[in-house]
Chains A and B, each alone.
Chain A
């Protein structure tokens, strides 16, 4: 039985020249877990908004074809009616919660349906227990973390126990741990309560293992609709940017079948005799170097440092210290990733290094101007035209010259990020260091690759690059050196392969598949390693 049906549905936003969805035909059966994939602006969000009734009832525009949600035609039923059959969760947790307490938030959709207080109370209790947020019920929504807010918003979407849940990149604003927890929660909903799930997600490696089907959108049309392994085969041929790191690893190594997750990948390696003994691998990997308590005042390379920070403390009044005597030296052209869990002090350290904040103790010295790119690139945009935001030379540096006449708010997420980069780098005095705070949030893999290339160019020109990130794949792509922060301390400071190949959390997918074998971090390195093993086996 179909829970969601698109029949030759096309849609153009009001004022837009080109359609965002073109002749989309799609069926989602009851209890199915469907992942929506595609690059930015491929139509994923619009498709989900059409399924929730926001398109066209909230956004206007021109629609053709038909969408049926739980048997209700979206031409006749708006988002309020459809909420009973389809819960919807959008990207930003902060605008997904409208009441001041968690209990009121969960009760809100039930009250809107006119349910009696007893039925509302029962509904709240049921959904809070099902999603594991019962302990949050009396908390104020203002106090919740992003991950907690998103779970509460999911609870509000599911409060009426709809048979279908639609999710538009719900993990894009969350740290990896909170993102993984949310995806596991969706799997539980799907398996235990039979809720059909349609999930749009950039980080496919996070959810392919749970999916029954993957639907790929390209330019608003369905380009592929297949089970995960078949979709990965398709992506290997047609859309390399949609491949997961494990799939890219296997393609590089010439192995088949392509794996939907780490577990499948390991099983395939074992069946090919390519998996090494974990104990032997662990013994061969040197332990990560601890950060010295006091780093020498001179830089590692012995040359002139771009930034030197010595003994930085940040001790807000009345609360625990955020930074506890951090020492850090960056040399020109060095590329460093700063990693650590939420609240470890990464963002605060970047603010101190850029001069945006002053430490309560310690000292920061820079050899020149330090550019800081904060998390939300939209915050930098104040003009009506891209060309007014930065000089032509700066736009050229980030490849946005052709978009100079566009409105900054019409740019995609990746393009906004590049424009913000142009803005912070655009000054008479070149920056000796560029600091970036979580620059890949919400970015697709192609945009991440472009950003990594830009950073390579800047580093080659002598700019020191420091990236605070949760994204181990990105850290492996851009950094020579990784610093791990925990509770305001630098607990490890070592070359990237040492840090990112030996752990569980701070490790790339390739490293997790290979168990740290050969300290391979990227699919390219891992593929080369596996091919060399296979060659040795065939020609001993």
Chain B
């Protein structure tokens, strides 16, 4: 997934604020396992992505995340031995012993899987809407070396992806190579690693030539004033964090999976879910200035 600047409130807002918005959604997903809350966060992230013009990026991320979510759900159902409502008795499975699948473990597994999916969606939204170059500039004020590492990593990902595609085709053109043998696989891994190191050295040389090693700190201050979109996205991020804090403090959207499943699905949970969606989408109400981006 690659950042591309688009005409949306999230892309227009400065990177630090857009990143705070994405991080707030991720944190919110980490706070709750309640399906109403998670559903609301997923709807908020999805709608924000569509309004920001990165809906297809989120769809791609979801395709990768769904198998992972299913795996999490299955593992929880099979491994966790808590819960009182046994729905399937699998029996003795060495070396795990007696395995009983409980309704509580199965449902909680599904909720954990849903949370994984929602976190991936929120992270994908963050990646697709936050300018990494601007983040690097910000990081440079804090730590030059960290920014250098991040810069190298950012640049190396697409370069290595292209290299890997080419190398895979070249392997297929070798008449003598049987990729099923361990020695050949090791040789390929070694060649790919060597190639990656050579590429990293080339990129590092370029960074040297651009003066990264002597990087002087840019003068502080004098930046552009906060725009309406900076304010609205920033307020939405704060609002989402406040909703998370309220939910945790007031015990809204709690889930007590064991021994018997107890899900909060009352009016307070519905209010929380609606507020999450509304607060997350408020920045997209105004498009003034967005087209100029």
- By a beta-carbon cutoff of 8 Å, the part of chain A in contact with chain B is 52-54, 57-58, 78-81, 83-84, 88, 90, 92, 94-101, 104, 108-109, 111-118, 138, 140, 142-143, 153, 156-157, 351, 354, 356, 369, 371-376, 378-384, 390, 409, 423-424, 426-427, 429
Contacts and interface: CB of A to CB of B under 8 A. Distances in A.
Contact of B217 (A88, A114, A142, A371): A114
25 contacts: A52-B209, A54-B208, A58-B204, A80-B212, A81-B211, A81-B214, A90-B205, A90-B206, A95-B202, A95-B203, A100-B2, A100-B132, A104-B131, A112-B210, A116-B219, A118-B222, A351-B169, A373-B173, A376-B170, A380-B171, A380-B173, A382-B171, A382-B177, A382-B190, A383-B187
A398 to B, nearest CB: 15
B15 to A, nearest CB: 11
B155 interface: yes
Contacts of B137: 111
Contacts of A90: 202, 205-206, 209
A58 B208 CA distance: 8
Contacts of A116: 218-219, 222
Interface in B154-182: 154-155, 158-159, 162-163, 166-167, 169-177
Given A376-B166, A424-B175, 7 more contacts: A79-B211, A95-B159, A95-B202, A104-B133, A114-B219, A116-B219, A383-B187
Contacts of A92: 202
B284 interface: no
A376 B165 CA distance: 12
B5 interface: yes
Nearest to B170: A379
B97 interface: no
Contact of B194 (A100, A113, A409): A409
A382 to B, nearest CB: 4
Contacts of A101: 5, 131, 133
A326 to B, nearest CB: 20
B195 interface: yes
B218 A114 contact: yes
Contacts of A356: 169, 172-173
B173 A371 contact: yes
Count class of interface residues, chain B = 35 or more
Contacts of A376: 166, 170
A157 B206 CA distance: 10
B215 interface: yes
A50 B244 CA distance: 57
B31 interface: no
B206 A95 contact: yes
Nearest to A379: B170
Interface of B: 2-5, 131-134, 136-137, 151-152, 154-155, 158-159, 162-163, 166-167, 169-177, 184, 187-188, 190-191, 194-195, 198-199, 202-219, 222-223
Contact of A112 (B187, B195, B205, B216): B216
A117 B218 contact: yes
Given A112-B215, A409-B194, A88 B159 contact: no
A279 to B, nearest CB: 47
Most chain B CB within 10 A, of A99, A351, A371, A384, is at: A99
B194 to A, nearest CB: 7
A98 B166 contact: no
Contact of B188 (A100, A108, A382): A382
B174 A380 contact: yes
B80 to A, nearest CB: 42
Contacts of A380: 170-171, 173-174
B202 A140 contact: no
Nearest to B162: A94
Given A95-B202, A114-B219, A376-B170, A382 B209 contact: no
